Structure 1
Amino acid sequence: MLETPDDLARLQTLLDASHARSTEHLRGIINDDRTLTAAQVAALLTGMKVISVATVTAHGEPRISAMDGHFLHGTWTFSTSRTAAKARHLAARPAVSVAHVDGEALAVFSHGRAVEIEGDDLARVDDHWSAHYGSSPLSWGDVVMYRLEPTWMVGYAWKRADLLAERGVDA
């Protein structure tokens, strides 16, 4: 877990605000017994996680694909080839939805904007990814890395106490 106290505070504010402005239907499913705190989300999302990233085409048609995601400093980072359709969609229309679903046990749903990572931030993210993969994703071709700037996010655990105990995360 790489989140600083400020990262966790920002994430907690986002989680609380997102849950509060969610529909009654969603709050009925992701109720107080099933929500996750920022610290729990960050602890549960260490390492690489498969995420579903949804974009839209120029014609407004939705597209979703599975990607490697790394949750760093309270948000998702992900990458793709600049030649991929996903990169073209994000360059033209950066609005994105990102979800990580681990069966019925855990889910984190988010919406926001994908921002290309550059400069010193790119070096830090690349260092993290390189440690995981054993080589830099930037060496794999014309790769672009993104950070999700979330405007809405909720964390869900079907049986929160059981999940946290099973995965060694403090309640």
Structure 2
Amino acid sequence: MRESTEELTELQALLDASLTRSTAHLRSIIDSERSLTAEQLTRVLTGMCTLALSTVTATGEPRISGADGHFLHGAWHFGTARTAAKAKHLAARPVASVAHMRGEELGVFTHGRVEVLNPAHGDPDPAWPELLAYFKDFYGDDAFDWDNDIVYYRLRPHWMTAYAPDPAKIAAAS
């Protein structure tokens, strides 16, 4: 868990507001008894979490692909090749949805705006040095040409919910 007290408070407010703004149908499935708190969520989402990442083409068609997701500081972080179709989609339309699911035990669904952490040209995000150190530690220092081959994103969520039929069980397993 890398979140500060302030980040946990903001994440909890987002989770609460997202559920409140959701449809009655979704609230019939995900309620306070079948959801995780911000603190539980950050303890569960450690290391690499496989994401289903959804972007949109220039003609408005949805595209879904897989991505290595890392939940850090209350937001998803993921990367791809600078030449990948999803990188082109995100450059033109910097919004995305992601889902992380673990069978029937956990479902985390997020919609938001993406920010490039390490642009090919220009200054990197102020958080990039810390995040780069994390990614190099996770993948290996020489796994990629970190400056040229890959682009990393932060998905700033504006809506997020976490479904767990047994929150205590999933939280205890982490």
TM-score range, shorter chain: over 0.9
Quickly say closer, same or farther: Cα 1:134–1:20, change in 2 above 3 A: same
2:108/2:161 contact within 8 Å kept: yes
Matches within 5 A, 1:74-153: 74-117=74-117, 118-135=124-141, 138-139=144-145, 142-153=149-160
Q: Deviations over 1:50-88 (max 9, x none)?
A: 011100000101001111011000010000111000000
Match of 1:159 in 2: 166
Aligned length: 167
Displacement of 1:116 after TM fit?
0.3
1:122/1:145 contact within 8 Å kept: no
Q: State the TM-score, normalizing by the size of structure 2.
A: 0.91
Quickly say closer, same or farther: Cα 1:157–1:136, change in 2 above 3 A: farther
**Unaligned runs of at least 5 residues, structure 1:** none
Q: In structure 1, the residue corresponding to 2:32 is in which secondary structure? A: coil
**Which letter maps to 1:80?**
T
* Distance in 2 separating the partners of 1:10 and 1:155: 15
Displacement of 1:121 after TM fit?
1.4
**Unaligned runs of at least 5 residues, structure 2:** 118-123
Superposition CA RMSD, Å: 1.3
* Distance in 2 separating the partners of 1:119 and 1:163: 33
